[in-house]
Amino acid sequence: MVTPTVIPSVRAVKEFIGKPIGPSDWVEVTQERIGLFADATDDHQWIHVDPERAQRESIFGGPVAHGYLTLSLAPALLNQILRVEGNPTVLNTGIQRMKLSAPVPSGSRVRMRCQILRAREGPTGGVSAVFRMIIEVEGSEKPALSADVSLAYLPRDGAA
Q: What is the pLDDT of residues 119-150, one digit of tens each?
A: 999 888 899 999 999 999 999 999 999 999 99
Burial of 138 (0-12, 13-18, 19+ CB in 10 A): exposed
The pTM of the full predicted model, rounded to 2 decimals, is 0.93
Alpha carbons 99 and 159: distance in angstroms, whole number:
36
Domain spans of the chain?
5-154
What sign does the dihedral 81-18-123-10 (CA atoms) show? Answer: positive
Model pLDDT, residue 124: 82
| Residues contacting residue 21 through CB under 8 Å, at least 6 positions apart | 5, 81, 82, 113, 114, 115, 116
Alpha carbons 77 and 79: distance in angstroms, whole number:
5
Pick one of 3.10.129.10, 3.20.20.70, 2.130.10.30, 3.30.465.10 as the CATH number of 5-154.
3.10.129.10
pLDDT digits (tens, 9 = 90+) for 27-84: 999 999 999 999 999 999 999 999 999 999 999 999 999 999 999 999 999 999 999 9
Residue 157 pLDDT class (50, 70, 90 cuts): low
The answer, yes or no, to whether residue 158 has pLDDT greater than 80, is no
Q: What are phi and psi of 48, to 5 degrees?
A: -100, -40
Say whether 118 sits in a helix, a strand or coil. Answer: strand
The answer, yes or no, to whether residue 87 has pLDDT greater than 90, is no
